[in-house]
Structure 1
Amino acid sequence: MSILYLTKKNDEFISFCSCTESLVGDPGQLDCPWCGCGWLFSCTKCRKAFSFAVATEIDKTWEEIAAEDLYSYSKRQATHEEISEWIENMQAMQSEIELGKTYVYLDGVFIATDEENISIEGWYAKHEFEHVPQLAAVTNSEIRKLVLSNPDYWRKNQLSDK
């Protein structure tokens, strides 16, 4: 039985992961999203970051992916409760992905790279872009400095309850 899941698409923009199978892990976003934890995917095996993922059918169960991701994060076997919580979170985050589409991660949300006029309230901040910033950064490296890695950008747009 296969499931629809996000896997690393390529090495464009930023990619530190070189695993042969790079599945998207649960975002471990901290209070410093500009460090990359707020705008990069992490691999379930090596925990290294990458920018672009594609919705693919894979021959694994949600439980297998959860156990892999949680183990690579904590270096211990996850409890049934942790696995259930992980699955619930990731299924919610991936509920609207479409087979073959490319996605980026931004502040708690998976966004298709073909989306335009993006307006989201993330876990940390409110964001408004004409185009996905990671995609724009492939051809304009200033986007990384001005937006994605910029603490001032994130703090200026920070939600008031943070």
Structure 2
Amino acid sequence: MSILYLVKKNDELISHCKCEESLVGDPGQLDCPWCGCGWLFSCTKCRKAFTFAEAKEIDKTWEELAREDLLGYSGKEPELEDINSWIDCMQNMVSHIEAGKTYIYLDGCFIPADEENFEFEGWKSKHNFYKTPQVIALKDKDIIDEVLSNPQYWEENIIQEQ
């Protein structure tokens, strides 16, 4: 049985993961998304970051993926409740992906890398871009310091709790 999932596409921009098979882990975004947790993928095995992922058919079950990611995160065998929660979260996050397309991660969302003129409310902040910032960064790395890794950007655009 195969499922459509996100796999590291390349080593462009930022790629600390060197695993032979790099599958996207649960974002686990902290309250400091500018550190990278809000705009980079992490590998299920080594937990190291990378920028671009591609939607591909993989020969694993959702349970295998959940166990691999949760084990890599905590180092201990996950409980069934944690596995089911992980599956629910990740199935929801990948529900819109299309085979062969490249994606970036931004503030709780997997977004097509070629997306243009979009705005959304993420887990932490509101965003409005003419192109995905990771794609912009391939030609202009200043956007990393000005937006992606800039605490001021994230705080100025924070979603106020009601």
Distance in 2 (CA, whole Å) between partners of 1:19 and 1:41 is: 14
Paired with 2:120 and 2:111, the residues of 1 have a C-alpha distance of 10
| 3-state secondary structure, aligned to 2:28 | coil
Root-mean-square deviation (Å): 0.8
Give the aligned partner of residue 86 of structure 2.
86
Q: Which amino acid aligns with 1:55?
A: A
Secondary structure of the 2:138 match is: helix
Which segments of 5 or more consecutive residues in structure 2 lack a partner in the other structure? none
Per-residue deviation at 1:42?
0.2
Q: Which amino acid aligns with 1:154?
A: W
* 1:35-92: CA deviation from partner (whole Å, max 9, x where unpaired): 0000000000000000000000000001001000000100000011100000000000
Aligned residue pair count: 162
Measured in 1, the distance between the counterparts of 2:93 and 2:115 equals 16
SS at match of 2:29: coil
The equivalent residue for 1:110 is 110
The separation in 2 between residues aligned to 1:109 and 1:141, in whole angstroms, is 22
Whole-angstrom distance in 2 between the partners of 1:57 and 1:77? 26
- TM-score, normalisation: structure 2: 0.99
Partner Cα distance (1:114, 1:149) in 2: 21
Counterpart of 2:53? 53
Q: Distance in 1 between matches of 2:74 and 2:91?
A: 21
Alignment of 1:7-46 (within 5 A): 7-46=7-46
Unmatched tracts of structure 1, length 5 or more: none
Residue identity matched to 1:160: Q
Q: For residue 52 of structure 2, what is the amino acid of its counterpart?
A: F
- SS of equivalent to 1:139: coil
Q: Does 1:70 align with 2:56?
A: no
Shift of 1:161: 1.4
Give 1:118 shift: 1.4
> Where does structure 1 differ by over 4 angstroms across 4 or more consecutive aligned residues?
none
Structure 1 position 114, deviation (Å): 1.3
- Note the C-alpha offset of 1:95: 0.1
